[in-house]
């Protein structure tokens, strides 16, 4: 079961976007659940869980506070070439091209696009064995104030999470200005057995990490929540810590949550869901015992 799940923040389109992605990817992609949380600071909030080519996502409609941007994109490694073209044509409708679908040194067929909802996808011809057996891989881009910190981030994340490995780092050469020689051009690493990519760019980009894409860490015990919460928030923004959310020292947003919370929301009565929601909203680090007490209250 996937330990770390990308969480996508939409204004009002979470369900619509999830349905669009499931239709576009096909091949067994599916909506796995949906619910509405009432009386949150954003009002009534729709959320959906879904899988694309076996990779799990969560989406929420929680208002216009955050906007999706390319700081975290999703690298799709598929074959054959006509499937690359098909998926590109599905996702580009209503979106915009960031890098044209073409032949590049790293792939015979590759393109980068931003879809109609603002989510960015890198679509590449290749075998999933080269991305840890995943068709879809989150790719983090360090720009602006975080430029030059990508290698430190790789070391940081692989030191925190168990079952981790640095799989390879490609560095900029001396003739690739404005990027500094030796900085991370592209890297691949795994944490909790899941593959991630990191890049950094000294070019002028009008985006940086924000809460529109967070990484949800599912935990089975309070001890596990305490561990990941304490490790990930070190050096981060204390003002960005609420109801299981935190922002780490690089600006990347995480959610540290008990897997049980999702079960409560999926399976509870409206009254149970309401009590659990009102219990976790004031929290910073989530407390499993308090959530269980709210759920089981007569």
What distance in Å separates the CA atoms of residue 225 and residue 107, rounded to the nearest whole number?
Answer: 39
What distance in Å separates the CA atoms of residue 213 and residue 227, rounded to the nearest whole number?
Answer: 22
Count of helix runs (H) and strand runs (E) in the chain: 7, 15
Asked if the model's pLDDT at residue 95 lies above 90, the reply is yes
223, two tokens = 């001890």
Strands (E), 86-130: 96-104, 107-114, 120-125
Percent over 70 (pLDDT), the chain: 100
Q: Containing H/E element for 41?
A: none
Question: What fold, for 4-200?
Answer: 2,3-Dihydroxybiphenyl 1,2-Dioxygenase; domain 1 (3.10.180)
What distance in Å separates the CA atoms of residue 197 and residue 166, rounded to the nearest whole number?
Answer: 10
Query: What residues does 5 pair with on adjacent strands?
Result: 216
Q: Are 24 and 16 in contact (CB under 8 A)?
A: no
Q: Of the candidates 238, 235, 234, which has an alpha carbon nearest to the alpha carbon of residue 284?
A: 238
Instruction: Give the single-character DSSP code of 167.
Output: E
pLDDT per position as a tens digit, 1-36: 899 999 999 999 999 999 999 999 999 999 999 988
Q: Where in the chain is the domain with CATH 3.10.180.10?
A: 4-200, 213-296
Asked if the model's pLDDT at residue 77 lies above 90, the reply is yes
Q: Are 293 and 264 in contact (CB under 8 A)?
A: no
pLDDT per position as a tens digit, 213-240: 999 999 999 999 999 999 999 999 998 8
Strands 55-61 and 72-78: unpaired
Question: What fold, for 213-296?
Answer: 2,3-Dihydroxybiphenyl 1,2-Dioxygenase; domain 1 (3.10.180)
């Amino acid at each position: 079961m996937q330990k770390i799940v990308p969480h996508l923040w939409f204004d009002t389109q979470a369900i619509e976007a999830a349905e669009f992605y499931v239709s576009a990817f096909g091949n067994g992609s599916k909506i796995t659940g949906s619910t509405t949380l009432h009386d949150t600071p954003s009002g009534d909030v729709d959320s959906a869980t879904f899988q694309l080519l076996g990779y799990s996502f969560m989406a929420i409609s929680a208002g216009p506070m955050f906007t999706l941007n390319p700081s975290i994109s999703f690298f799709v490694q598929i074959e054959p070439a006509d499937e690359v073209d098909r998926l590109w044509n599905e996702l580009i409708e209503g979106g915009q091209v960031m890098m044209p679908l073409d032949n590049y040194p790293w792939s015979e067929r590759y393109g980068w696009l931003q879809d109609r909802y603002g989510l960015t996808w890198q679509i590449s011809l290749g075998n999933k064995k080269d991305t840890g057996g995943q068709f879809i891989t989150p790719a983090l881009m360090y720009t602006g104030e975080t430029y030059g910190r990508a290698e430190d981030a790789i070391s940081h994340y692989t030191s925190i999470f168990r079952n981790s490995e640095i799989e390879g780092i490609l560095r900029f050469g001396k003739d690739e200005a404005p990027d500094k020689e030796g900085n991370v051009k592209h890297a691949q690493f795994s944490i909790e057995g899941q593959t991630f990519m990191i890049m950094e760019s000294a070019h002028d980009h009008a985006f940086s990490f924000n809460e529109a894409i967070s990484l949800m860490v599912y935990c089975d015990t309070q001890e596990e929540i305490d561990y990941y919460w304490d490790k990930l928030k070190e050096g981060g923004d204390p003002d960005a810590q609420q109801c299981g959310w935190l922002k780490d020292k690089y600006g990347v947003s995480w959610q540290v949550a008990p897997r049980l919370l999702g079960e409560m929301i999926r399976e509870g009565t409206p009254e149970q869901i309401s009590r659990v929601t009102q219990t976790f909203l004031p929290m910073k680090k989530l407390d499993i015992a308090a959530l269980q007490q709210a759920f089981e209250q007569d």
